[in-house]
Amino acid sequence: MKVKDLGEFGLIDKLTQILSVKDPKVVVDFGDDCSCVNVEGKLLLFTGDIQLENHHFIKEKINPEDLGWKLVSINVSDIVACGGKPKWGFISIGIPEETEYYFIEKVYNGMKKALDMYGFSVVGGNTTSSEALILDMFLVGETDRFVPRAGAEKGDLIFVSGYLGSSRAGLELLLMNKENYEGFEINLIEKHTKPSARIDLQPFIKSYANSCIDISDGLVGDLSHIQKMSKVKIVLEKNKLPVDPDLEKFCKKYNKDIFDYILYGGEDYQLAFTTRKENKDKFKNCFPIGYIEEGSGIFLKDKKGVKPLKSKGFEHL
């Protein structure tokens, strides 16, 4: 049997069983945005995310500063989704020896800008030579309340922290290789190449969210983790989904279904979370998009009624 026959989640299921954890200091192991361990009463969060040449980026097409920025941001996003602040990063880098130094320097400049903006340091690293460029970051965060995927409760409201689908449109625009892009197209491309983690929401997620996930694989795909792990039913209200005006222009110009982008587009690095109704005013500039009920599945409610949504989240294998 090949790895691709198992799919990403099938593979992860099998491998995590082999590594079963018995340490009582481990609060959360596999299956959430971060792992969590208890160190002298402090909850430490661990996460890691990688950017691989030819898989996550094309060297000739990416601004190396953006690459460094993105590597840091996607890791911070996982920490914030669990209610934490990023504290210490560790960078593992594989470099083809023919790489121009200026390229790597710019990647690190981009990392440094992101580190300064999010307020933490990379404290160590490992370097090796490789065929293609590998940038693997490991990040330790801290919280005093772990916000899991599994905490959504009946009656909770569901929020998203911003526009969705813009990053996928940006990627498609990039791949068109056009000579000239319109203003709104450049905006969409930037949302793909330079996403920001919502560290501004961290204090509120930590204090008021019952469950949270960062949207890297698409709204429905990522909410399905909250849905399954919380054992609840999710109802999204179509008319409440926030619509990026730039994405609207894109979909008009290229004749695309905007809800396909909003519901299934990936890599926006916004947060989806649930909170009790009485806390709904704690989250400024976030959008309530639905609610949690008893039951199971994810549904979309519009004028015509309520219909189940297919989960077609992005698998990485």
For residues 19-48, which are near its own copies according to CB under 8 A? 19, 21-23, 26, 29-30, 34-35, 37, 39-42, 44, 46-48
How far is Cα 173 from Cα 310, in angstroms, rounded to an integer?
26
Among positions 258-317, residues that touch its own copies (CB under 8 A) are 316-317
> What are 159's strand-pairing partners?
273, 288
The one-letter code for the residue type at 73 is S
**Does 96 participate in binding its own copies (rule CB under 8 A)?**
yes
Minimum gap (Å) between residue 309 Cβ and its own copies: 25
**Does 140 participate in binding its own copies (rule CB under 8 A)?**
yes
Cα 244 off chain centre by = 18
Q: Which of 59, 63, 117, 134 binds its own copies (CB under 8 A)?
A: 134
**Does 138 participate in binding its own copies (rule CB under 8 A)?**
yes
**CB contact burial 252-269 (16+ within 10 A = b; e otherwise):** eeeebebeebbbbbbbbb
Q: Which of 55, 61, 307, 310 binds its own copies (CB under 8 A)?
A: 55
Task: Check: CB of residue 213 under 8 Å from CB of residue 223.
Answer: yes
Minimum gap (Å) between residue 214 Cβ and its own copies: 13
Q: Which of 63, 117, 122, 190 binds its own copies (CB under 8 A)?
A: 122
How far is Cα 25 from Cα 128, in angstroms, rounded to an integer?
32
Q: Which of 67, 80, 81, 95 binds its own copies (CB under 8 A)?
A: 95
Q: Which residue has the tokens 């909170």?
A: 275
**Does 253 participate in binding its own copies (rule CB under 8 A)?**
no
Among 269, 113, 140, which Cα is nearest to 201's? 269
**Does 240 participate in binding its own copies (rule CB under 8 A)?**
no
The DSSP call for residue 278 is: G
Q: Which of 59, 63, 117, 130 binds its own copies (CB under 8 A)?
A: 130
Q: Binding segment for its own copies among 114-122, 182-190, 210-218, 241-249 (CB under 8 A)? A: 114-122
Cα 284 off chain centre by = 20
Among 239, 238, 256, which Cα is nearest to 247's? 256
Q: Closer CB to its own copies, residue 45 or residue 188?
A: 45
